[in-house]
Structures are given as structure tokens and as C-alpha cells.
Amino acid sequence: MTQPGAENEGAGQEATEPTADAAAAGTEQVPVDGAGQAEKSQIAELTEALQRERAQFVNFRRRSAEEFTQAAANGKQRLVEKLLPLLDDFDRAREHGDLAEGPLKAFADKLGDILTGEQLVKFGASGDVFDPELHEAIQNDGSGVEPVIGDVFRPGYRLGDKVIRHAMVTVTDPAPSAGDAENAGNPQ
């Protein structure tokens, strides 16, 4: 009497023996088209998976580099924003003549040079054209036809292309030029 499942074991052995012989024979037998196609499709599938993984890794490296650059720029911006009150104090001291000479002048000049090297640009001088995206108007003394900056209460700063502080200014009309004054006196 045979054991249950013994028939299946024998069938499994018979099916594996010819393939073991074929594997041992190696290059002597030519693979059947169905087996060759299966290997080719598996190679294509694995190649495609590898290409996807490589693309994901390249994207990961690019994103990581962008995040690092963004984090460095944000850190630089925060530091510069904290130094702006110090720059304002140096500007006021310079206006009053306290930075004409001495060690404080050297310090203020070096700090200004360092921040200029980091692309910090001061803007908002008296007489410049008023731009509401760059300037904060606290008083308007003109007609509004061609607004220009009158007095500057607080200069604005730009770090690279990004405005980190708007200039606080008054807005006036442009001063009449010499040609405009002559034309106003001699109507045609």
C-alpha cells in the first residue's frame, strides 16, 4: 500500500530530474523559446526597477542639496535680520559724526563689508522713485502723480533678491527741475 502523497512526491522528483540534467549539461542544450523569453522579460523587469531606483536616488540627492541650500539661506537671513538694529545704530552714529574715526568706525566698516559680501543691499534713499513693494509710506505729502521718496525714517534691506525689510519713508512729489521752473514762468 502506498502512502498518501507518495505519488505526488514521485511526480515532483521526475519533473525536477530532467531540469537538473539540463542545468548540468549547461551550454550543450539550447534553451526553449518560452524559457528564454521568461529570462529576457525578467532581465527587462529588473533593469526597469534598477533605473527607477537610480532615478529616485538622483532625485533624493537633488532634493537634499536644495534643502541644505534653503536651510543655509534661511539661517543667514535670520542672522542678518537680527543685525539690522545694529546697522541702524551705526547709521545714526555716522549721521551724528560719532563714527568719523576710532575703533568703532573700523568695526562698523568691517561689519558693513562682511554683510555686503553676503549680498546685503541697503535701499530707500531720498529722491528715489517710490515703489510700494519696497517702501512703506508713513506719510504722503504729494499729489501722487509721480511719487518719490522724501524723508527716510528707516532704510530697507535686500538679501540677494529677497526683501528682508521694507524702507519706512515719506512720499512727496519730485522737485521741479531747472527746465520745468523756466517753463512754468514763461507760458507759451
CB 168 within 8 A of CB 136: yes
Q: Summarize the confidence of residues 6-25 as an average pLDDT.
A: 46
Structure confidence at residue 101 (pLDDT): 86
CB 134 within 8 A of CB 124: yes
Statement: 119-174 belongs to CATH 2.30.22.10: yes
For 84-143, the pLDDT digits (tens) are 999 999 999 998 988 888 889 999 999 999 999 999 999 999 999 999 999 999 998 888
What is the per-residue DSSP string for 52-104?
HHHHHHHHHHHHHHHHHHHHHHHHHHHHHHHHHHHHHHHHHHHHTTTTSSSHH
For 152-186, the pLDDT digits (tens) are 999 999 999 999 999 999 999 887 765 554 555 55
For residue 188, the 8-state DSSP code is: -
Rounded distance between C-alpha atoms, residue 39 and residue 36, angstroms: 5
Q: How confident is the model at residue 14 (pLDDT cuts 50, 70, 90)?
A: very low
Domain spans in the chain, listed from the N-terminal domain onward: 48-118, 119-174
- Please state, as a whole number, how many other Cβ atoms lie within 10 Å of the Cβ of residue 81: 13
Task: Supply the pTM of this predicted model.
Answer: 0.63
